[in-house]
Amino acid sequence: MKPELGEDSNFSLKLHLNQAKSCRILENFIVSARKYRPATFDTVVGQSHITTTLKNAIKSNHLAQAFLFCGPRGVGKTTCARILAKTINCQNLRPDGEACNQCDSCRSFNGGNSLNISELDAASNNSVEDIRSLIDQVRYPPQFGTRKVYIIDEVHMLSTQAFNAFLKTLEEPPSYAIFILATTEKHKILPTILSRCQIFDFNRIQVKDIASHLANIARKEEIGAEEEALRLIALKADGALRDALSMFDLMVTFSADRNLTYKLVIGNLHILDYDYYFRIAEALMAEQTAQVMLIFDEIIRQGFDGHNFIIGLNKHLRDLLMCKDKATVQLLEVSNEVQQRYLGQAMAAPVSFLLSALHLGHQCDVHFKMSKDQRLHVEIALIKMANLPAAINLVQLDEGLKKKLMAAA
């Protein structure tokens, strides 16, 4: 007969089971940047000009011996380098130039144990000895397959001596060797290295592409997400998909019900709501200086930086100016609902006011860091903006009187 467990024992057992369950969840969790890392050229986000060129080069067998992938962080340089390395060694290449992901070479690469692909992080391996060790490896032909691919990440971190030691091998590598260099700072690389590489410039990824990618992930993970919330994450990422995925994971963690709303993202990413800029622009056009000062004070009291505010106001004024022409409305990176709000406010904003306010805002931005009293610096710019309608009317009145006098004479 089994002894009965007391209440304390039951509680301890439940606690142990819950802890074990939590540990399993933590062990199984993989950040989105790794879990949804592109495995083929077609799944790379926002770099079609590069992936199309690489696929055509593979299909026509016109591969350079050295590639240099340049661009901002988080836009897919290392990812494309790995996909290119895998595709070059694929034994059953698809007609569209993509790797099959089923042959021995692809499986070994996906498992992280391919002998034909080597990666070197130049940020921590930047000495002459590290490059000489790499050059020694290049001398040995592949034991399996036809190509050996060497990926050197953050290549701009190599010392001048390491670059010089690498020059000869990069210029005349063995027929089976291909080098793929990746960097965020192309200007730091020696011209002699640049001249030996086929250079690909990666673009910042557009907001709509990042937002669409996040929406696909949200659907796969069964996470509720408002369109404007994902667009806001994409805007904050500033063209870097990896940053957007990190912020997306963070927002999901903050959300208890796995539902990303606009308010949740605004609050946790510490971003000023569109509403503040609409309110302050309306008060500026109405010459309500006191109301402008109160709104700005509210923004400061919430912990927002005056410099970031003026940058955001300049962007708001620029977007209003874009709404003045149907051809430039598409340049707004906002949802349809917010776009309609911009169009409505743009109708009430004279072009002369927007241009003058943008000039004042730009001057405030340029001289902000040099100011001793930065809050007063922003307030003076706002007071000038609030008095622009009166100044513009005065100038127009003066010009009208001059025309009348000239006509009378």
Three-class secondary structure assignment of the chain: CCCCCCHHHHHHHHHHHHHHHHHHHHHHCCCHHHHCCCCCHHHCCCCHHHHHHHHHHHHHCCCCCEEEEECCCCCCHHHHHHHHHHHHHCCCCCCCCCCCCCCHHHHHHHCCCCCCEEEEECCCCCCHHHHHHHHHHHCCCCCCCCCEEEEEECHHHCCHHHHHHHHHHHHCCCCCEEEEEEECCHHHCCHHHHCCCEEEECCCCCHHHHHHHHHHHHHHCCCEECHHHHHHHHHHHCCCHHHHHHHHHHHHHHCCCCEECHHHHHHHCCCCCHHHHHHHHHHHHCCCHHHHHHHHHHHHHCCCCHHHHHHHHHHHHHHHHHCCCCCCHHHCCCCHHHHHHHHHHHHCCCHHHHHHHHHHHHHHHHHCCCCCCHHHHHHHHHHHHHCHHHHHHHHHHHHHHHHHHHHHC
The confidence score (pLDDT) of residue 379 equals 92
Can you tell me the mean pLDDT for 226-232?
85
The confidence score (pLDDT) of residue 401 equals 60
The confidence score (pLDDT) of residue 290 equals 93
The confidence score (pLDDT) of residue 108 equals 82
State pLDDT tens for residues 264-305: 888 787 778 888 899 999 999 988 999 999 999 999 988 888
The confidence score (pLDDT) of residue 317 equals 92
Tell me which architecture the domain covering 274-394 has in CATH.
Up-down Bundle (1.20)
Q: Above 50 in pLDDT, residue 3?
A: no
Supply the mean pLDDT for the chain: 82
- In the chain, what are the domain boundaries? 33-201, 207-268, 274-394
Q: Which fold has domain 207-268?
A: Helicase, Ruva Protein; domain 3 (1.10.8)
Put simply, whether the predicted model's pTM sits higher than 0.95 gets the answer: no
State pLDDT tens for residues 161-201: 888 888 888 888 888 888 888 888 888 888 888 888 888 88
State pLDDT tens for residues 200-225: 888 888 888 888 888 888 888 888 88
Superfamily of 33-201 according to CATH: P-loop containing nucleotide triphosphate hydrolases (3.40.50.300)
